[in-house]
Amino acid sequence: MNQDLDAYWMPFTANRQFKKAPRLLARAEGMHFYTPEGRPVLDAIAGLWCVNAGHARPKIVQAIQQQAAELDYAPPFQMGHPKAFELAERLVELTPAGMNKVFFTNSGSESVETALKMAIAYHRVRGEGQRTRLIGRERGYHGVNFGGISVGGMVANRKMFGTLLAGVDHIRHTHDPARNAFTVGQPAHGAEFADDLERLIALHDASTIAAVIVEPVAGSTGVILPPKGYLQRLREICDKHGILLIFDEVITGFGRTGQPFGAQTFGVTPDLMTVAKGITNGAVPMGAVFVKQEVHDAFMNGPEHLIEFFHGYTYSAHPLACAAALGTLDTYADEGLLTRAAQLESYFAEAVHSLKGAPNVIDIRNIGLVAGIELAPLAGQPAKRAFDVFLDCWERGVLIRTTGDTIALSPPLIIERAQIDQIVGCIGDALKRLA
């Protein structure tokens, strides 16, 4: 093992494999990473679903540089700085109607923890403190803190960490390859999967349930789309029983599905919405929770000098993050990036679905500029086939992501058609080589 690499315990990484054959990135610009040797690698995953405007964008770089010299840090408790308020106002111009309050965090995991706490506290301040139960979904991913893995439904993220939060249950996932394999866009079948929530409500009683949290598009589990009518049905059930609906838009937020947020793409407005990643184009860690006015207002009672919500982070609304986010929003606006995925969606769909019939491809799923290409697993070696494709593409200058035996694509929104062709061609060639 190279001792220079020894000290760093890498996250979500096969550490032993990596340190035998490191994949190092030294620089990035536009659509590409560059290795220390200067080899370009086309970024087919927007860094990690986050670099939506491409790398090293001038307005973002300049904003961070200037902010570091002007105001490097400001305490967020009982104090504020102008850019935090400016950013919040800019953000709520993009959100669905009524979601006009913003609480700042530093990551998607923190955004989820914040939203879950808000939901439980909301019912308490309204006099329904018995509503403490949280409902997640199988195959959901909501970050890696205890709340997030408790409502999450990815087995490997849960099994090592004990009993997790009490009082959490899960509705079934919406993956139904028997009826929906190789669907272009939203699947036609499966709206009725939302009715699984009624089963849990019957089991636990609505009076005990605080919130339901789902990703509009389940990303990290392999790009699983909501069937037509599914999210609408979830919204109806939550309304019927007084349950808050939380959308985790850490991946779908900021243009990935063709609208600023998945809520707008699918025409369903949640009560709380978590974001991160694309809010700063990945340049500085940041997250946020968007909150409906009436949820926020429920807390605004009692003596005015007292704290209404005992929650927050040392780095909430960090000045450098706020500056990066403002530069990011400017870049999105200048180039129409928050809706560009809708313009490229049909071309992207046709390209990725051209892999139907390639060796070992058993399903392809897509919406906007995100796609999942599911492979048949190697017997007795789950995730190995997709990982081999990942390594093959890396050697040939394309960076993809795999989760289990699914290849996930989410390129920067600045991608051109020729680059879509390059990505799909590289994957197709790798599948043939490894067949």
Residues 171-228 pLDDT 10s? 999 999 999 999 999 999 999 999 999 999 999 999 999 999 999 999 999 999 999 9
pLDDT of 210 reads 98
Q: Is the pTM of this model over 0.75?
A: yes
The stretch 292-306 carries a mean pLDDT of 97
First to last CA, the chain: 31
C-alpha span between 47 and 44 (Å, rounded): 8
Contact between 140 and 317 (Cβ < 8 Å) = no
Res. 246: pLDDT tops 60 = yes
Task: Walk across the sheet containing 27-29 and list its strands.
Answer: 27-29, 32-34, 40-43, 398-399
Give residue 234's pLDDT. 98
Cβ proximity of 286 and 110 under 8 Å: no
Chain segment 20-56, per-residue pLDDT in tens: 999 999 999 999 999 999 999 999 999 999 999 999 9
Q: For residue 250, is pLDDT > 70? A: yes
Percent of the chain with pLDDT over 90: 99
CA atoms of 219 and 140, how far apart (whole Å): 8
Q: What is the largest CA-CA distance in the chain?
A: 69
**What integer best gives the mean pLDDT of the chain?**
97
- Alpha carbons 336 and 344: distance in angstroms, whole number: 12
Cα distance between residue 313 and residue 168, in whole Å: 25
